[in-house]
Amino acid sequence: MNRLEVDFCVVGGGPAGLTLALLLARSGTRVAVVEKAKSLDREYRGEILQPGALALLDELGVWPGIRQRGGYQLSRFRLVDRGRVLMNIDYRALPAPFDFLFSVPQRHVIEELHKACLGQENLSVLEGASVHSLIFDGSRVTGVIRGSGERAGEVRAHCVVAADGRYSKVRKLADIAYDRIEAFEHDVLWFKLPAHERAVHDVQVFRDAGSPALLHDSYPGRLQIGWTLPHRGYRQLAARGIEHVKEQIARAVPPYADLVHEEITSLNDMTLLDVFAGTARTWARDGLVLIGDSAHTHGPIGAQGVNLAIQDAVCAHPVLMKSLRAGDPSTAALGEFERLRRPAIEKVIALQSRQAKAMLSTGRITNALRPVLARALAHTPVYRKVLDQIAFGDRQVRIHSELLVA
C-alpha cells in the first residue's frame, strides 16, 4: 500500500475541500485532497452563488476564470404569486462589484479551484478512490485509507478535514452523530428546460395553481425548475406515473407548461432532493475537523450551500494553521473553528426555515397574510438586514492573507 505523509489531508474535492486545500497550500503546508470521483466529469449540484462567495473567490484569484467561462448575472430574488410580485429582494442595493447573484454550472467553479490547486507543488489531488477507513492513534485521527487492492493508499496527516458532503463517510467513521432537522414541509424535484427567449432574469419562488416552484436561469440557455412536493411524498406521487407528475408540474408553472410536456419524458429526467437541514453534533475531535455540508446541511431556499462551504474553508484556515504551528491537533484546538462558525450557521438554518414557511407554505390564512406581510417587510429595516444576511452571511469571514506565502 502506498503511503503519503502531509500536514493536512482534506477528504472531498468540492467547494469546501478545494478552497481550504488551496489556502493551506498557499500558506506553505503540505496538503493532500482525496476525492472519490475519478475526474471532473461528475454530477454537480448547486448553481447559484451569493455575493459573499463571489468576493472570496475573487480574493482567491479564481473569479475571473469562472466569469470568463460564462454564467448569468441575476439581480433579484423575487416571490411571484399568481403574477403579482409580493417580494422583490434587489441585489443592486448592495455595494458593487458583487451586487448580483451568479448562476453558473458548479463544474466551472470546481475546475477553476482545481486548476489553482494543481499549480501548488505542495498540494496533491488524489482522485478516483474513496476514503473508507480512518487511521487512529489512540483516540486521535492520524490519517485515512483510500481505495482498495492495487489502488489502496494511506495518507497520514497532522489533521484530517472531512469535506465530503452531506452524507459524509468520514463523519460516520469518526462516529459523530448528526442531528437532522425536519424544518421543511417540502421536498423538491429538479429539472431543466430549454429556456430560449423565456429566461426569467432572476431567482424566483413562483406560486400559481399548483405547488410552489423555484426557478432560475441556468447557464447556458436553460431554465432550472425545482417543483416542490410534500416532504417524503415522492413515492406516492411517482406511483401515479409520469403523465400525472407532468400534469401537476404544468399546473404549477403555466408559462412553461408546453415545455414541461415536450421535454420531460420520464421520471429519470428529474432529480429528487430530500430537503432537510442538519448539523453534526460536533465539528471537531482529536485530529479531525468537519467543514461544509459534512458539518451542516441546508435546504435549497436562499441558495446558501456553496456560499457557506467556501466561508467555512476560509474560517477554518487560520484555526488549522495555528494548530499545526503549535503541534496541537486536539479537540480543544480544532474546536475553535466550531466556536467561531456555529452561531452563523444556526442563524442561516433559522432564516431558511422562516423563508420556507413564508414563501412555500399553503393554507387559507397563510395565503391571505402573505401579501400583507411581504408589503410590510419591504418598508422596514428588516428587509435590508435579510438581504445582507442572505447575500453575505457572516461578514466577518475574511481570508487571512497574512498567512499566505505563495
Ligand X SMILES: Cc1cc2nc3c(=O)[nH]c(=O)nc-3n(C[C@H](O)[C@H](O)[C@H](O)COP(=O)(O)OP(=O)(O)OC[C@H]3O[C@@H](n4cnc5c(N)ncnc54)[C@H](O)[C@@H]3O)c2cc1C
Residues making contact with ligand X (CB under 6 A):
11-17, 34-37, 45-48, 130-131, 163-165, 169, 190, 273, 292-294, 300, 303-307, 309
What is the distance between the terminal CA atoms of the chain, rounded to a whole angstrom? Answer: 32
Nearer to ligand X, 76 or 169 (CB): 169
CB of 392 to ligand X, least distance (A): 13
Question: Residue 213 corresponds to which cell in the numbers above?
Answer: 416552484
In degrees to the nearest 10, what's the CA dihedral of 391, 396, 398, 403? -160
Tell me: cis bond preceding 220? Omega within 30 of 0 counts.
yes
Helix 305-326 × helix 15-26 angle, to 10°: 30
Minimum CB separation of residue 99 from ligand X in Å reads: 18
d(CA 49, CA 310): 10
* CB-nearer residue toward ligand X: 252 or 316: 316
Nearest to 264 by CA among 233, 231, 223: 223
| Shortest Cβ 266–ligand X spacing (Å) | 18
Residues 6+ apart with CB under 8 A from 262: none
Q: How far is the CB of 102 from ligand X (least distance, A)?
A: 10
For ligand X, which is the closer residue by CB, 45 or 140? 45
Indicate the burial class of 342 (C-beta count within 10 angstroms; 0-12, 13-18, 19 or more): middle
Backbone angles phi, psi at 228, to 5 degrees: -90, 145
CA atoms in the 13 A half-sphere facing the CB of 217: 22
CB nearer to ligand X: give 15 or 212: 15
Q: Do residues 28 and 406 make contact, with C-beta atoms less than 8 angstroms apart? A: yes
Nearer to ligand X, 269 or 328 (CB): 269
With respect to ligand X, which residue has the nearer C-beta, 328 or 340?
A: 340
Nearer to ligand X, 355 or 370 (CB): 355
CB of 325 to ligand X, least distance (A): 26
| Least CB distance to ligand X at residue 19 (A) | 8
Smallest distance, Å, CB 308 to ligand X? 7
